[in-house]
Amino acid sequence: MLHFFFFLLLLSSRPHTAVSAHCTTITATKTYHKCMTLPTQQASIAWTFHPRNATLDLVFFGTFISPSGWVAWGINPNSAQMTGTRALVAFPDPNSGRLILLPYILDPTVKLQRTPLLSRPLDIHLLSSSATLYGGRMASVHNGAAVEIYATVKLVPNKTKIHSVWNRGLYVQGYSPTVHPTTVNDLSSFATIDVLSGVAAKSHNNIKALKTVHGIVNGVSWGFLLPMGAVTARYLRHIQSLGPSWFYAHSIIQLSAFLLGSVGFAIGLRLGEMSPGVVYGIHRNLGLAAFCLGSLQTLALLFRPRTTHKFRKYWKSYHHFVGYACVVLGVVNVFQGFEVIGSSRSYAMLGYCLALSTLIGVCITLEVNGWVVFCRKAKEEKMRREGLVGEFEKGSGSNS
């Protein structure tokens, strides 16, 4: 079962990208030298670069996801991320309904969730810009309407790489675009492009690889091994023939799960550092809480009282409460992780659910068996107290 789980995780850990539109170098007004299909949102870009004066003529092809939404394309002068992007945002004018294009700077102080995003002139050499709708319904913006954003930018001499950033949202309040959706595709809509060679840099392969490792390590450790260690302690300790073996098995499984989970937690912190501006609040907070509880649980082993100590019962209560809380948080956060990466209906999710369901099935079976044994022993103890067992044994002895 565990090998099957590994296989499904690896199978679905390949990055899922939206079906992108085929790029074209021809528009109604211009013909460009190069084009590129962008990895998300069915977007593409075409451009002509003039090395002599470092001027870049380009057009961005995008689509609306709402009649009152917006589509944006921009350049980040420093890195491939949203924060710091100099953006051109196209949306229907709230008063006239006609398509307009306004400039915005997404500096670090801008939080789309808290304060309105206000239009202001860009501090890059933007020589011209415009936006037009194309397709069957050119007169108005609708869900699925295609838009072209044109721009002419003067680049820094001898610098041919640009950090292209794009996105789209559902609503515009006044002239302020609201926050865009936060699916994995919406949070990875950026690419570094060499406009001279026409090649996109692969600088984000490391992030994708780390995300894959992060998901597999945490799914196995917090999501499976930790619950399995708890099951080992709860049900094997009552089997007298095992002796102290259950304790060693429980300790080894839990310690391995925590060490492996610590690696996954550290990878998660590194991913946060490598993706500034991208925050998964619930997933991060659940992971931090699970790691803190796991650390407390591990440290508690150093202060484990002897069986005869008067504080032993209090330590056991603490150990059980913190342990089960850590297990629940770990499992919940694994499911939250699937939601974050947009794999809630993937083969990896199916594999994890099958593995977890198998473990839960084992728990139910052992729990029922434990209650049957408990009830049988209680009945025998009651009969012994009432003398029924002794009389039965005497009768059996006299007959023999």
Binding residues are 214, 250, 283, 319
Kindly tell me the burial class for residue 334, based on how many C-beta atoms sit within 10 Å of its own C-beta (0-12, 13-18, 19 or more): buried
Contacts of 114 (CB under 8 A, 6+ apart): none
**In degrees to the nearest 10, what's the CA dihedral of 200, 204, 206, 207?**
-160
Distances (CA, A) of 279 to 193, 262, 275, 329: 25, 20, 8, 19
Q: Residue 111 is encoded by which pair of tokens?
A: 């939080």
Binding residues for heme b: 214, 250, 283, 319
CB 34 within 8 A of CB 381: no
Residue with tokens 């022993």, as numbered in its chain: 377
Rounded Cα distance between 191 and 321, Å, is: 46
- Which residue(s) pair with 191 in the sheet? 164
φ, ψ (nearest 5 deg) of residue 149:
-110, 115
Tokens of 58: 């380009």
**Residue in this structure with the two tokens 């809630």, named with its chain if needed:** 344
